[in-house]
Structure 1
Amino acid sequence: MMRRRTTLLTGCTALVLALGATACGGSGPVSAGGGDKALSGQTVSVAGVWSGTEQKNFQKVLDAFTAKTGAKTQFTSTGDNVSTVVGSKIEGGNAPDVVMVPQVGVLQQFAKNGWLQPLSATAQKSVTAGFAPVWRNYGSVDGTLYGLYFKAAHKSTVWYSPDALDQAGVKPPAAFDDLLKAGRAVSDSGLAAFSVAGQDGWTLTDWFENVYLSQAGPEKYDALAAHRLKWTDPSVVRALGTLGTLFKDKELVAGGQKGALNTDFPGSVEKVFGPEPEAGMVYEGDFVAGVAKDQFGRAIGEDADFFPFPKVGAGHAPVVSGGDAAVVLKDGKNHQAGMALVEYLATPEAAAVWAGAGGFLSPNKKLDLASYGDDVTRATAKSLVEAGDSVRFDMSDQAPAAFGGTKGAGEWKILQDFLRDPSDPKATAGRLEAAAAKAYQG
């Protein structure tokens, strides 16, 4: 790696203002976003996976930061492989100041590589006051807070066509067995029950995680996520068996297993909310709403709605989440001003900008729910915030990328094979354990 670059701001006052600390002349603390243009003339470079509408909406947040501090911003979209892109930029001496990291495992990798600056006292104070402790834990490595979770995803939502459920004479179910019964009623009325995006292995990990969290409980979930529990544990086999009950039922899955394996995530939403519906329900996170609205013109809350992922057996309804954490790179050319941006992102004011634009959830409990533009998003955000420390981060996002985040390999590929043939959960658990052991050891 290139040697660490030291950023020299123009004068002590600019430095301490960027950090939100006490100014040199004995004046009081000034926070980033104080509206006094304290960072005029500086530029903060930001990298993240977002593109399209997400990038445009995040730019609105960055523009609000500029309006308050005077600092310009420059956003670069990395694509999905953020760790490789950022690593290359660091090696080339062109590290961004701030990175929006989409996976816990990547944040931990960055910290262990020595790339990250611990968050400032101002940012830490905001996290303590506005976020459930679980979000601080996921942003920390070995007790040091490096990441501020600005954008979250609620991955325990089942989206449905109200017309399809009405035609089948069923209501949104609260238990997994009732979900299967409701699905069969939908199938009997002329549509398949579920559209499953099996072409994208990450969606199958989300299916498994919701079933496992509810059925096995949070302690086993945490142990499995850290690989303190082997994937051959009976709880894993049991969860795979529960999921296999759905996957193997051709009446429940649009196009059967073959059709599901040829359906990507946008296609799975289209099969429910597109011009020629093939299914009544699609499971995935709150971001389904954005696709249904933006691509297919569905009115959220009217002809597209959701219900919480049902509890499995005697368990509780799960709340699985994902999210993007803002981290500051030591090697950034202006990492001090980058820290000021993260301090701003920690405020409800910053979250309100994107909340008003849509396609966004914040784990910041200080954000007024009225900031969201529709009742469905408001309800989803409320569910996420009220879940508090019962929220569990996407398990595959906590794993090494070789196991939990690589197309055609590891958990993604093994669960696709399980969707193709769900007859032997025990054998699938064995394959998952072999892949996990190799990845975690590496």
Structure 2
Amino acid sequence: MGMSQHRRLWAPLALVGVAGLALAGCTGDIEAGGDDVDCADYEDYGTFEDATVTIGGTILDLEADRLVESWSDFASCTGIEINYQGSSEFEAQIAVLAEGGNAPDIGIVPQPGLLARLAAGGWIVPASQPVIDNIDEGWDPIWKEYATIDGTTYAAPLMASIKGYIWYSPAQFEDNGWEVPTTLDEMMELSETIASDSGHQPWCVGLESGEATGWPGTDWIEDFVLRQAGADFYDQWVTHEVPFNSPEVVTAFDSVGEYLKSDEMVNGGFGDVSTQISTPFQEAGLPILDDECSLHHQASFYETFWNPDGGDDITVAPDGDVFAFLMPPVDADDPQAVTGGGEFPVAFREAEEVEAVRTYLASALWANNRVSLGGVISANKGLDPANASSPLLEQSIEILQSPDTEFRFDGSDLMPGAVGSAAFWRGIVEWIGGQSTQTVVDEVEASWPTS
């Protein structure tokens, strides 16, 4: 099915068959900027009259407010009214909306696998040359690959995250004489020490995320596959050049199981192993602040959840209330392997104003504007790390920009939706619930589309 050229009306609540789609975050018209806005940086984007661009995505609450602020001057200077609506059900519903002609002009898609599905449906517009030029200028080539299907590039990256961080309390470590581990073996030794000496389970884990429950567990598996089996195997695994249930993946599951399936290791501050399934991922790390656990595996974006109201009561710094280290490699001399995520603004409508917005979102100017507002990072090479809102995020930007970093996108996000955001997520829940590793990996392998 080809892209129609008319303006699409985005009215998800009125779409028959889409039940329970609750919109949250920032909605409505964006009246941004003011008389004091310097428009020199925005001249190349052109000016528009009576132009409106709608954007949808999963970004909610404080992060949605900051997203809107990040394009406020652009909107004021170009005359493009930008309306953003966020929904926790965006990923589940966007293909339905697109098929019904009710998608937003731009959808901020967090999964390359979902992007590929939208492209296969013929619903999204290829990226314009200015967007592609910004990709080539601003990102490592591997990022372009994630949004390129059969030789056609559909979107630029937007924000990014590093997935393999281990959050901890520097003061708790210092008081107990614990050292940040430099190998996976040392991470297990540290965990065993905490379990035996501290009186609490070392790890706190939350896998609950609505329809996406289970995804934090897939991040654990992907980190271990990348570190234990290597980047080449990881690439073959996410593209199904090797089976999902390969021995290397079984090894990764069993290694993670030494943590997540052990009542001695989890779930600090919440209960036994089973409580991981019902613990919201947003709240899972918070027991660290009360010395009820010591370690929490979650992405760089988790920084926002320490101060969910946008305050600064909890400091994220090497000498602050919390900080994080990257999950270590197998051997201390191995290259730094990093899993991460990001978003891609795809277009459902072909129009100059839509591509103007996408070109701005693909620019170093946008990256610096957004990162300066706090809480997020980007892999854009034109981003100044000093604009980050904390030492951890500054470090994260430097890691992403380093040529020595072996970066790979989140594996479940790269896999087809039936696998990565269905069978794999579901398999994690069943596995934590007691199902064997072999049964789980076999079931996920069986879910892989045959064509």
- Which bin holds the TM-score, normalised by the shorter protein? 0.7 to 0.9
Alpha-carbon spacing, 1:185–1:435, altered in 2? closer, same or farther (3 Å): closer
* 8 Å CA contact 1:35, 1:68 repeated in 2: no
Residue of structure 2 equivalent to 1:392: 408
1:306 and 2:287 aligned: no
Aligned to 2:215: 202
Matches within 5 A, 1:325-404: 325-329=344-348, 332=349, 335-386=351-402, 390-404=406-420
Partner of 2:155: 147
Q: Equivalences for 1:15-414 in 2 at 5 Å?
A: 33-34=42-43, 38-82=47-91, 84=93, 86-187=94-195, 188-199=197-208, 200-253=213-266, 254=268, 255-273=271-289, 276-294=290-308, 297-301=313-317, 302-313=320-331, 316-329=335-348, 332=349, 335-386=351-402, 390-406=406-422, 410-414=423-427
Q: Which amino acid aligns with 2:4?
A: R
Shift of 1:91: 4.2
TM-score (norm. length: structure 1): 0.85
2: distance between equivalents of 1:389 and 1:122?
A: 28
Instruction: For 1:349, give the aligned amino acid.
Output: L
Q: Tell me whether 1:5 sits opposite 2:5 in the alignment.
A: yes
Report which stretch shifted further, 198-207 or 413-422.
413-422
Structure 1 letter corresponding to 2:71: L
Whole-angstrom CA distance in 2 between matches of 1:316 and 1:244: 24
Q: Which residue of 2 aligns with 1:18?
A: none
Question: What amino acid maps onto 2:75 in structure 1?
Answer: T
In 2: Cα distance, 1:258 partner to 1:82 partner: 27
CA distance in 1, matches of 2:407, 2:82: 32
Structure 2 gap ranges (5+): 8-39
Measured in 2, the distance between the counterparts of 1:190 and 1:169 equals: 15
Q: Closer, same or farther in 2 for the Cα pair 1:231/1:94, shift >3 Å?
A: closer
Q: Secondary structure at the match of 1:46?
A: strand
C-alpha separation between the residues in 1 aligned to 2:405 and 2:398? 14
Matches within 5 A, 1:395-434: 395-406=411-422, 410-421=423-434, 424-425=436-437, 427-428=438-439, 431-434=440-443
CA deviation vs aligned residue, 1:354-380 (integer Å, no higher than 9, x gap): 111112110101111122122221011
The percentage of counterpart residues that share the same residue type is 26
SS at match of 2:158: strand
TM-superposed CA distance for 1:53, in Å, is 1.1
| Cα distance in 2, alignment partners of residues 195 and 350 from structure 1 | 35
For 2:359, the aligned partner's letter is E
1:165-216 Cα shifts (integer Å, max 9, x gaps): 1232111111111111112222312332110113431000000000110100
Q: Tell me how large the CA RMSD over aligned residues is.
A: 2.5
Instruction: Name which of structure 1's ranges 345-354 and 260-269 shifts more when overlaid on structure 2.
Output: 260-269
1:218 counterpart letter in structure 2: A
5+ residue gaps, structure 1: 8-30
| Alpha-carbon contact 1:36-1:68 (below 8 Å) kept | no
- Superposition deviation, residue 82 in structure 1: 2.8
Paired letter, 2:191: G
In 2, the alpha carbon distance for the partners of 1:249 and 1:146 equals 43
**Aligned-partner Cα distance in 2 for 1:361–1:225:** 24
Deviation at 1:123, TM superposition (A): 1.4
Query: What letter is aligned with 2:146?
Result: Y
**Aligned residue identity for 1:416:** V
Assess if the C-alpha contact under 8 Å between 1:32 and 1:69 holds in 2. no
2:3–2:123 CA contact under 8 A, matched in 1:
no
Query: In 2, are the aligned partners of 1:214 and 1:316 still within 8 Å (CA)?
Result: no
Helix, strand or coil at the partner of 1:159:
strand
Rounded Cα–Cα distance in structure 1 between residues aligned with 2:134 and 2:128: 10
Relative distance call for 1:101 and 1:336 in structure 2 (3 A) is same
The separation in 1 between residues aligned to 2:102 and 2:308, in whole angstroms, is 35
Letter in 2 for 1:256: D
Counterpart-to-counterpart distance in 2, 1:388 and 1:313: 16
Does the Cα contact within 8 Å between 1:140 and 1:146 map onto a contact in 2? Answer: yes
Deviations 1:270-298 (A, max 9, x none): 2223xx34101100101221101336931
What is the deviation of 1:32? 9.3
Q: TM-score, normalised by structure 2?
A: 0.84
| Residues 241-264 of structure 1: CA deviation (Å, up to 9, x unaligned) | 211222343332223312333322
Tell me the secondary structure at the aligned position of residue 179 of structure 2: coil
Deviation at 1:81, TM superposition (A): 3.6
- List structure 1 segments (4+ residues) > 6 angstroms apart after TM superposition: none
Equivalent residue letter for 2:329: K
Cα 1:244–1:263 change in 2 (3 A) is same
Q: Which has the higher helix share?
A: 1
Describe the SS at the equivalent of 1:147.
Answer: coil
| Contact preservation (8 Å) 1:355, 1:371 | yes
CA distance in 2, matches of 1:308, 1:389: 12
- State how far apart, in whole Å, the 2-side matches of 1:79 and 1:411 are: 19
Assess if the C-alpha contact under 8 Å between 1:132 and 1:389 holds in 2.
no
How far does residue 62 in structure 1 lie from its aligned partner after superposition?
A: 2.5
Contact 1:100–1:325 (CA<8 Å) still a contact in 2? yes
Distance 2:253 2:102 in 1: 45
- In 1, the alpha carbon distance for the partners of 2:262 and 2:337 equals 23
